[in-house]
Structure 1
Amino acid sequence: MLHPAYLSAYNVPYETWLQKSLLPQIAPGHQDTSHVAIGALIFKYAQGDEPDRILLIRRATTDSMPNRWEIPGGACDLEDETIFHSLAREVHEETGLTVTKVVDFVDGSSYVTRSTTEGKGGEWDSLYLQDEATKGYAELANPHEEDVQVTLDPNEHSAYAWATNEEVLGEKHEITAESQRRIILKGFQMLEAK
């Protein structure tokens, strides 16, 4: 997977990254419940009068936080070759898009979840990576082309949208969590700075 050299720390197996980066920060006794969640900020770049847009997907009505919007992402699996491969797998599972390049690291945070579905909480480290190139997306030359062949699993997501910074700021799409909304807005800021 293509990526800048300064992101090489994530081009390692999930378990290696977990042992070196996350577990030393977690209190003894909680290390067995550690997970890493990743997410991709996928942008359709501005062309002509069209503003930059980010891909958001709406959670299914049968899922937790029903009908709220989020970026593609999920948990890293031990079977994934690297953290980047986890990101690519999750994006493909949720959207049908193929990640070919990770452009930048946007944000990371550690927090404790309170899972009512599984009956136990755990330590999660969230890693949000900005992704510029997906199969089809990288080939978009027409700013008015709407169909990017996003394919959703109806058990997980019911719709997708290409949202502008203003739409995210104006809360047109109810995002799953304020922390994710801040990460999306930070991604837009990073994009403007380039």
Structure 2
Amino acid sequence: MAPANPPAFNFTSDASLKEYTVPMKTYLESHPEYDAIATGALVFHTDPVRGDEILLQKRADHDSMPGRWETPGGACDLDDETILHGAARELWEESGLVAEHVICRVGGEHVFFTRRNQRVSKINLEVRVKTEATGVAPTVNLDLNEHSAFVWATEEECRAGRKGDIVLNITTKEQEKAIFEGFRQRKARNAPA
């Protein structure tokens, strides 16, 4: 589980994310079609042998969509300094990872309705996290109330829905699309010119 006291979220972000550097309330005032904002943090690690791997977390058995896999994320709170801070907070709460730089938005708009009929816009973001060493996967500390396991999975493993003996049933088609788009954007950004 993440430590009791959150860190100071002193991350940087790409200029393309300027519209998310405002509090959720401010953002919603200019986007009245939404009632709330959620974020997803796509965290990648480049393994020296396996290449790019994404962090996936298995939802707890007592939660909605039990046993399914997703990226860290959740609802922005009214007291989050900005939408990006909401993403950093959710990432830290669910994985114990500390955002270092928010790289880019991943994919387009994903809108869904909650059980209370709130219209939510989910913003997926690629986030680089602080690590102890290059080439070593960041240390994940799950909140066991929300997630029961985690894996670092390659794109091929995500597409196959399996990492070794572990079946990777992703929570939703939209989450699956975001994962594949995250891999696509990374490849495009890292391709030789």
Which TM-score band (shorter chain)?
0.7 to 0.9
TM-score (norm 1): 0.85
Query: Identity over aligned residues, as a percent?
Result: 40
Q: Distance in 1 between matches of 2:186 and 2:170?
A: 20
Say if 1:112 and 1:121, in contact at 8 Å, map to a contact too.
Answer: no
Q: Distance in 1 between matches of 2:47 and 2:139?
A: 19
SS where residue 58 of structure 2 aligns? strand
Tell me what 1:141 maps to. Answer: 134
Q: Distance in 2 between matches of 1:92 and 1:166?
A: 27
Tell me what 1:2 maps to. Answer: 12
Counterpart amino acid of residue 93 in structure 1: E
For structure 2, the residue ranges without an aligned partner over 5 or more in a row are 1-10, 163-167
Among residues 142, 166, 169, which one is paired with 1:174 in the alignment? Answer: 169
Say if 2:50 and 2:154, in contact at 8 Å, map to a contact too.
Answer: no
Tell me what 1:38 maps to. Answer: 39
Q: Distance in 1 between matches of 2:29 and 2:108?
A: 17
Deviations 1:121-160 (A, max 9, x none): 210001000112x122xx4323xx45x3211111110000
Report the CA distance between 1:114 and its aligned residue: 4.6
**Matched ranges for 1:18-167 at <5 A:** 18-20=28-30, 22-23=31-32, 26=33, 34-47=35-48, 49-115=49-115, 120-132=116-128, 134-136=129-131, 139-142=132-135, 145=136, 148-167=138-157
Superposition CA RMSD, Å:
1.4
Q: Give the total of aligned pairs.
A: 174
Q: Distance in 2 between matches of 1:85 and 1:65?
A: 26
Q: Distance in 2 between matches of 1:15 and 1:96?
A: 26
Deviations 1:40-63 (A, max 9, x none): 10000243x322000000000000
Are the structure 2 counterparts of residues 114 and 83 from structure 1 closer, same or farther at C-alpha, using a change threshold of 3 Å? Answer: closer
TM-score (norm 2): 0.85
Q: Distance in 1 between matches of 2:71 and 2:51?
A: 18
For structure 1, the residue ranges without an aligned partner over 5 or more in a row are none
Give the 4+ runs in structure 1 shifted more than 3 A: none
The answer to whether structure 1 residue 11 and structure 2 residue 21 are counterparts is yes
Say if 2:94 and 2:142, in contact at 8 Å, map to a contact too.
Answer: yes
